[in-house]
């Protein structure tokens, strides 16, 4: 009884982990704005959805905000109707 209960719990936990891995979040390099500067290099710390978020993080530092080159130069999708 204990063995079967332990086995079922193990399988359930593995399925939970496998299910959450398939719905991967947006990669940090796909965000549109990057914190750039001598501390971050190029393209920088690209984890900001809005320019205002990036500006708030850059406030009081020697950093600035720029557009993420992976987003800016990504191929455009063609819509078919």
32 close to 48: Cβ distance less than 8 angstroms: yes
Question: pTM to 2 decimals?
Answer: 0.58
The domain containing residue 16 runs over which residues? Answer: 2-72
In whole angstroms, what is the distance from residue 47 CA to residue 26 CA? Answer: 10
Tell me what pLDDT residue 5 has: 47
Looking at residue 12, what is its pLDDT?
A: 52
pLDDT score at 9: 52
Query: Residue 80 domain-assigned?
Result: no
For the chain, how many structural domains are there in total? 1
List the pLDDT tens digit at each of the 81 positions of the chain: 555 544 555 545 544 444 444 444 556 668 999 999 988 888 899 999 999 999 999 999 999 999 999 888 888 777 776
HEC assignment per residue over 20-62? HHHCCCCCHHHCCEEEEECCCEEEEEEEECCHHHHHHHHCCCC
Residue 78 located in a structural domain: no
């Amino acid at each position: 009884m204990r063995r079967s209960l332990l086995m079922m719990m193990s399988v359930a936990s593995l399925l939970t982990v496998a299910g959450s891995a398939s719905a991967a979040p947006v990669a940090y390099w796909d965000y549109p704005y990057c914190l750039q500067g001598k501390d971050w290099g190029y393209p920088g710390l690209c984890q900001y959805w809005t320019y205002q978020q990036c500006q708030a993080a850059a406030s009081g530092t020697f950093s600035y905000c720029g557009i993420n080159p992976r987003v800016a130069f990504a191929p455009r999708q063609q819509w078919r109707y």
